[in-house]
Amino acid sequence: MTVRRPQATFIVVGMTMGMLVACGTVGSPIPPEMVGVTPTIERQKKLEALEKKQHEAAAAAESTESQPDLMLQGQDVDLPSVQPVGTR
């Protein structure tokens, strides 16, 4: 029974791939202006403003629609989400 030993090139290639994987993703650098608390807060404010505009547009579109008949609602009424009262 013979034991097959890997060649040196396979060992070097395997170690190189292992180092690349261990070091993280290889890619373009991220500018410092895009990292931190301030850019995150600015992105969140822009997103909230966009959501507010969409909500106002949806509310305006909903107000122009005719009101549904109250007798037809039945189980189609939207209920508030169920949230736990307390946790232990």
Condensed to tens digits (0 to 9), the pLDDT of residues 2-37 reads 666 667 787 888 888 777 665 666 677 778 888 888
Does the pLDDT of residue 56 top 60, yes or no? yes
Q: What is the pTM of this model?
A: 0.40
Across 20-29, 50-59, 71-80, which has the greatest mean pLDDT? 50-59
Secondary structure of residue 73 in the 3-state scheme: coil
pLDDT of residue 24: 63
Contacts of residue 26, defined as CB under 8 A and 6 or more positions apart, other chains included, come to 20
- For residue 10, give both structure tokens: 């396979």
Q: What is the average pLDDT score of the chain?
A: 76
Euclidean distance between CA atoms 56 and 12, whole angstroms: 61
pLDDT of residue 62: 77
